[in-house]
């Protein structure tokens, strides 16, 4: 009875899944209440998750893992997969983030999608997205996790391309789907290696058995899973889909960036901590990917004038911080999850704030058309300000606690890794200050026919809640609570001695952030801002590269798309002229031969009799010749 919340944790997935599928088939009569049904379903999942989490906290620290097998999914010889779930400190935190932030996004969407004729379908897709992500984080088997993994990919495709009447949205959805399939190949191959090596794909047995496997196996598994993580979390080199995904409705951007899809890769690495602890090469690869991505994403964020794409570059960078922390092993796993949680608060706040700005600006996403919106949209401005202070790491706000811990741990691992993370913090402060200046502080630049206005309460209330979480989210680390809470899952974190005191390092980080803020204010707060984007030729090579997302699309086109297109054309030619040519050519030759052979077949009996008589005469003459000879 005491574990009833944990016993019913399967409802976390079932409720939004049933709601989503039901909304899809309900029909037009459901259009009036579909948005309410979808929002209630997500809220019920949050309530169930909160009850289960509280029950988990009442257990002793060494007994905070609850697993339940619902039924046998696959039974084929030695291959056995149970459909079951594990509710432990790691999955529990994710459940609260997914359902809590997800529910706020659902409520916000009621106002944002009010006039969309397909609003019921939109909420159905949101519910399916939530259910898929919950399946992913609760799964006690990698194959069940892969089921949720693919569900997230499908839901993101449907939501990114929700406005498929726009060619750009349809193209962006297809691009996200295809690039994620590349990463999924890595995860699928990793699952195959697990079964081949350990005879199981269950999460706990695999991570326990890896210590008895060779380093080569651990490295192979780590790199394959990292490939999958790069696809879902938009990390280099599979990052190019993320900025195009902004073509979807803004609540979709918030859900993907804050609570679901891009966090899945970080979860996979941390959940597979046994594998990465067994391979230093795999951990170093995670560090390299995270460090490069956090700098690349920050660079892109500096150059984009589209408010959503600037925030998307920011997401790349912040997820890079999480991946970097996850690559640091037991010293960084908890901090990766801590920053993931705080990022979920402030990034949902920022994206929904951007949606509120767009709502008041006739869906214009160009920051050069904004300016002075703090007066017209005071609630959006204040809540966005809280998200801004959190992401730059202003003292007291959530990002200050989580990001500083990652930078501190990175310096404990390597000076150069720590320096890269520190530079990223300064650049983050610069591009976010640029965004604030261009949108809310600088002179008015909107057109005369635009009338900026505050969003309705159904949109501003979620913003207020997320603004509060952006401020208070750092409380999770008070007394090292989160590190102690996650220790049974990710292991004990050894303390790294730094060359300087932690307090001095915090001061240095704060000064670097302040320098980024000052530079952003000087360039965009004290100077006039052009109302239109300058031509590429009039900006620096760095800004030009950032606008083109460091030419990632061009690189993909040169390395993957064009060679694949040429290979496809060659294979089509070989199929048409080679394989088909041989088959059809042989058939043609046989047909020609049949035409020759059919000529003696006249159909006249007298011709056949003459031929028979002639043949008989030839045989008789041949026999006589042999006999007489």
* Beta bridge partners of residue 394, listed in sequence order: none
Q: What pLDDT, on a 0 to 100 scale, did the predictor assign at position 629?
A: 63
pLDDT tens digits, residue range 558-573?
Answer: 776 678 777 778 878 7
Query: What is the percent of the chain where pLDDT is above 70?
Result: 97
Mean pLDDT of 387-411: 94
Model confidence at 537, pLDDT cuts 50, 70, 90, reads low
Nearest to 222 by CA among 149, 143, 283, 147: 283
Amino acid 531: pLDDT: 78
Question: Residue 101's pLDDT is what?
Answer: 95
Percent of the chain at pLDDT > 90 equals: 69
- The model's pLDDT over 432-464, given as tens digits with 9 standing for 90+, comes to 999 999 999 988 888 888 889 999 999 999 999
Task: Quote the pLDDT of residue 493.
Answer: 77
Alpha-carbon distance 172 to 12, whole Å? Answer: 30
Q: What is the pLDDT of residue 198?
A: 94
Mean pLDDT calculated for residue range 479-504: 83
Average pLDDT over residues 354-363: 93
| Residue 241 pLDDT > 60 | yes
Q: How many CA atoms, within 13 angstroms, populate the side-chain half-sphere of residue 623?
A: 6
The reply to whether omega before 237 is within 30° of 0 (cis) is: yes
3 state SS of 372: coil
pLDDT digits (tens, 9 = 90+) for 275-309: 999 999 999 999 999 999 999 999 999 999 999 99
pLDDT for the residue numbered 200: 94
Q: Note the pLDDT of residue 479.
A: 64
Integer CA distances (angstroms), 256 to 36, 155, 233, 252, 274, in order: 21, 10, 10, 6, 27
Q: What is the pLDDT, as a whole number, of residue 570?
A: 81
pLDDT tens sequence across 300-347: 999 999 999 999 999 999 999 999 999 999 989 999 999 999 999 999
Q: Residue 292 and residue 483: Cα distance in Å, rounded? A: 26
For 36-71, the pLDDT digits (tens) are 999 999 999 999 999 999 999 999 988 899 999 999
C-alpha separations of 460 from 26, 36, 111, 260, 463 in Å: 30, 17, 10, 22, 5
């Amino acid at each position: 009875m005491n574990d009833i919340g944990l016993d019913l944790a399967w409802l976390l997935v079932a409720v939004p899944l049933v709601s989503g599928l039901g909304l899809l088939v309900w029909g037009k009569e459901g259009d009036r209440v579909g948005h309410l049904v979808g929002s209630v379903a997500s809220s019920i999942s949050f309530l169930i998750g909160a009850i289960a989490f509280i029950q988990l906290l009442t257990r002793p620290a060494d007994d905070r893992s609850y697993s339940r097998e619902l039924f046998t999914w696959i039974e084929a010889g030695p291959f056995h997969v149970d459909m079951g779930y594990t509710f432990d400190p790691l999955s529990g935190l994710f459940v609260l983030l997914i359902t809590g932030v997800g529910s706020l996004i659902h409520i916000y969407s009621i106002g944002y999608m009010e006039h969309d004729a397909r609003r019921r379908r939109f909420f159905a897709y949101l519910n399916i997205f939530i259910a898929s992500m919950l399946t992913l984080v609760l799964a006690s088997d990698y194959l069940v996790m892969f089921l949720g993994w693919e569900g997230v990919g499908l839901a993101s495709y449907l939501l990114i391309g929700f406005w498929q009447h726009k060619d750009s949205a349809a193209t962006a959805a297809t691009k996200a789907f295809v690039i994620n399939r590349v990463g999924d190949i890595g995860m699928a191959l990793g699952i195959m290696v697990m079964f081949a090596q350990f005879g199981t794909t269950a999460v706990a047995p695999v991570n326990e058995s890896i210590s008895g496997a060779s380093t080569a196996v651990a490295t192979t598994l780590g790199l394959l899973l990292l490939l999958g993580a790069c696809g879902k979390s938009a990390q280099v080199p599979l990052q190019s889909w993320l900025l195009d995904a902004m073509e979807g409705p803004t609540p979709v951007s918030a859900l993907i960036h804050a609570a679901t899809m891009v966090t899945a890769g970080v979860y996979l690495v941390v959940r597979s901590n046994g594998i990465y602890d067994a391979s230093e090469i795999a951990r170093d690869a995670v560090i390299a990917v995270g460090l490069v991505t956090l700098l690349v994403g920050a660079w892109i964020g500096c150059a984009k004038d589209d408010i959503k794409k600037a925030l998307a570059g920011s997401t790349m960078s912040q997820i890079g911080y999480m991946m970097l922390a996850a690559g640091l092993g037991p010293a960084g796993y908890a901090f990766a999850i801590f920053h993931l949680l705080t990022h979920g608060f402030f990034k949902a706040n920022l994206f929904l704030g951007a949606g509120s700005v767009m709502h008041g600006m006739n869906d214009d996403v160009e920051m050069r058309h904004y300016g002075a919106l703090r007066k017209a949209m005071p609630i959006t401005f204040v809540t966005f300000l809280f998200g801004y202070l959190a992401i730059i790491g202003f003292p007291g706000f959530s990002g200050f606690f989580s990001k500083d811990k990652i930078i501190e741990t990175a310096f404990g691992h390597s000076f150069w890794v720590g320096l890269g993370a520190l530079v990223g913090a300064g650049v983050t402060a610069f591009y976010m200050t640029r965004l604030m200046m261009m949108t809310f502080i600088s002179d008015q630049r909107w057109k005369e026919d635009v009338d900026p206005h505050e969003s309705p309460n159904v949109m501003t209330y979620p913003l207020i809640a997320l603004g509060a979480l952006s401020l208070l989210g750092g409380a999770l680390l008070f007394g090292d609570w989160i590190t102690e809470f996650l220790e049974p899952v990710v292991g004990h974190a050894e303390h790294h001695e730094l060359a300087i005191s932690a307090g001095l390092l915090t001061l240095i980080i704060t000064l670097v952030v302040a320098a980024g803020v000052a530079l952003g204010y000087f360039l965009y707060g004290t100077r006039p801002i052009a109302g239109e984007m300058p031509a590429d030729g009039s900006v620096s090579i760095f800004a030009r590269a950032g606008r083109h997302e460091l030419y990632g699309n061009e690189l993909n086109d040169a390395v993957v798309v064009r060679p694949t297109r040429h290979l496809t054309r060659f294979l089509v030619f070989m199929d048409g002229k080679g394989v088909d040519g041989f088959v059809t050519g042989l058939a043609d030759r046989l047909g020609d031969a049949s035409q020759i052979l059919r000529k003696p077949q006249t159909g006249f009996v007298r011709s056949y009799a003459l031929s028979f008589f002639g043949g008989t005469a030839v045989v008789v003459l041949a026999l006589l010749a042999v006999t007489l000879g």
